[in-house]
């Protein structure tokens, strides 16, 4: 072996060692600052982790884009997924007067809110875009209670790292980190474009998470749980989606 090859070998070895060492340090830092998504395992784990970590470092507190009233879509698309279960039909027949939102987990006062309770909390309106992972989008005015107001009302523990939320169908559940949970634009939405939130768009209650794709804005929300350990929920991947191939973090 010539001298050049040996030198090359040593340089490559050093570079590889530095690379592996750097990765280990990056991994420890990422874990310490909560930059690892729940679906970080498997072949797609590295890509998901990079996307989530980089976007949290760059844009943790940046609000989603807002639009002037003139840009509200005249014909928004509901992508209707109206629940057909008996429980929903019963509540709908009663004009959703008995709709309940249970908030529990790492909170001082687990509470069950009616829609009237939620409406008595501070109200906020945001004109944001719903962007579906399929590619289509629309802009609407969303009216509701900021999630952070509800979390303050129940006395959320500072140990909380994720808010898990459930739809009435018993199948769909999602979770978001505290960056999105505390973003003032994240609304427990009961109104749309100056009216009640239509059933097709998630009425009577939808959690709007405008910094992520549409599938994180779960319709017909009935329960929320504050937790510091997302692995305890479902398959431990942070939502029902990663099992079907859909990333937990959808800020893309």
Partner 1 sequence: MLGPWFCVGFGASEVGCPVGVGVCYSPAVPVTATERKAKAPRHAAVVRVTHWLTVIAFVALLISGLGIVVSHPRFYLGEVGNVNTKPLFTIPIPASRDTVPTGYHTVMPDFNGWGRYLHFEAAWLLVIAALVYGVWGLWTGHFRRNLLPERGERTWRGFWKACGLVMKRYLRRAPPDASGGRRYNVVQRAAYLLVIFVVFPLMIWTGLAMSPAFTGAFPMTVILLGGRQTARTLHFLLTWVLVLFVVAHVVMVSLVGFWSRVRGMITGRSTVLESESEEGMGESA
Query: What are the residues binding partner 1 (CB under 8 A)?
Result: 5, 43-44, 46-48, 50-51, 55, 58-59, 62-65, 67, 71, 73, 75-77, 79, 129, 131-139, 210-213, 244-247, 251-252
Q: How far is the CB of 245 from partner 1 (least distance, A)?
A: 2
Q: How far is the CB of 211 from partner 1 (least distance, A)?
A: 5
Comparison of 24 and 54: residue with beta carbon closer to partner 1: 54
Q: How far is the CB of 164 from partner 1 (least distance, A)?
A: 20
Comparison of 65 and 232: residue with beta carbon closer to partner 1: 65
Comparison of 163 and 247: residue with beta carbon closer to partner 1: 247
Q: How far is the CB of 79 from partner 1 (least distance, A)?
A: 6
Q: What is the per-residue burial (b if ≥16 Cβ within 10 Å, else e) of 7-32?
A: eeeeeeeeeeeeeeeeeeeeeeebee
Comparison of 27 and 134: residue with beta carbon closer to partner 1: 134
Q: How far is the CB of 189 from partner 1 (least distance, A)?
A: 16
Q: How far is the CB of 158 from partner 1 (least distance, A)?
A: 24
Comparison of 24 and 50: residue with beta carbon closer to partner 1: 50
Here the tokens at position 44 are 């797609």
Comparison of 29 and 57: residue with beta carbon closer to partner 1: 57
141 near 69, Cβ under 8 Å? yes
Q: How far is the CB of 33 from partner 1 (least distance, A)?
A: 17
Comparison of 3 and 158: residue with beta carbon closer to partner 1: 3
Cβ atoms within 10 Å, residue 139? 21
Residues whose CB is less than 8 angstroms from the CB of residue 20 and which lie 6 or more positions away in sequence, other chains included = none
């Amino acid at each position: 072996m010539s001298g050049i090859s040996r030198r090359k070998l040593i340089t490559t070895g050093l570079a590889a060692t530095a690379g592996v060492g750097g990765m280990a340090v990056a991994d420890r830092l990422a874990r310490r600052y909560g930059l690892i998504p729940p679906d970080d395992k498997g072949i797609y784990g590295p890509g998901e982790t990079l996307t989530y970590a980089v976007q949290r470092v760059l844009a943790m507190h940046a609000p989603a884009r807002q639009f002037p009233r003139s840009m509200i879509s005249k014909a928004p698309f509901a992508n209707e997924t109206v629940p057909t279960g008996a429980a929903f039909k019963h509540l709908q027949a009663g004009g959703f007067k008995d709709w309940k939102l249970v908030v529990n987990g790492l909170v001082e006062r687990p509470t069950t809110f009616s829609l009237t309770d939620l409406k008595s909390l501070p109200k906020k309106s945001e004109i944001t875009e719903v962007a579906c992972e399929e590619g289509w989008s629309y802009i609407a005015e969303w009216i509701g209670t900021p999630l952070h107001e509800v979390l303050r009302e129940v006395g959320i523990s500072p140990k909380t790292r994720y808010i898990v939320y459930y739809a009435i169908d018993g199948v769909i559940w999602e979770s978001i980190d505290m960056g999105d949970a505390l973003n003032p634009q994240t609304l427990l939405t009961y109104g749309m474009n100056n009216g009640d939130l239509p059933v097709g768009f998630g009425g009577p209650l939808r959690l709007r998470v405008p910094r992520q794709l549409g599938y994180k804005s779960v319709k017909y929300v009935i329960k929320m749980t504050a937790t510091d350990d997302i692995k305890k929920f479902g398959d431990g991947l942070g939502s029902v989606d990663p099992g079907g191939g859909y990333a937990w973090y959808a800020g893309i």
